[in-house]
Amino acid sequence: MIMIPMKVPKSVNTYCPKCREYTEHEIRLYRGGKRRNLAEGQRRYDRKNEGYGSTRKPIPKRFAKVTKKQLLLYRCKKCGYTITKRRGMRLKKLEISEVG
């Protein structure tokens, strides 16, 4: 089976809420940051996982979803404002190309 990636243009003309007009936006893929070990939620998770070799939740044997939701970030070239509230889409492969 051949994987054909979904092609997305590098820049697109869309509405910027900060400029209040349609401007050129640069598109990039959202990448999650590094997890912080000292965050309260992580400390709570580690505390619950302590003990004699057991984990607090069962490890899933098979997964229902094969893909992750890809989130695109739109950054305004005029003011630098980043739009993150666009709905993510399920894709196996995404390609950000020069020409859409």
Query: What is the secondary structure of 70-99 as a DSSP string?
Result: E-EEEEETTT--EE--SPPEEES-EEEES-
Whether 88 shows a pLDDT value over 70: the answer reads yes
How far does Cα 50 stand from its chain's mean position? 31
**Where do the domains of the chain lie, and which CATH numbers do they carry?**
1-31+66-100 (3.10.450.80)
Q: Which two tokens stand for residue 91?
A: 């894709």
What is this structure's pTM? 0.75
Average pLDDT estimate for 13-24: 96
Q: Which residues pair with 38 in a beta bridge?
A: none
CA atoms within 13 A on the CB side of 35: 7
**Mean pLDDT in the chain?**
89
pLDDT tens figures, 36-75: 999 999 999 888 888 777 777 788 888 888 898 999 999 9
Whether 100 shows a pLDDT value over 60: the answer reads no
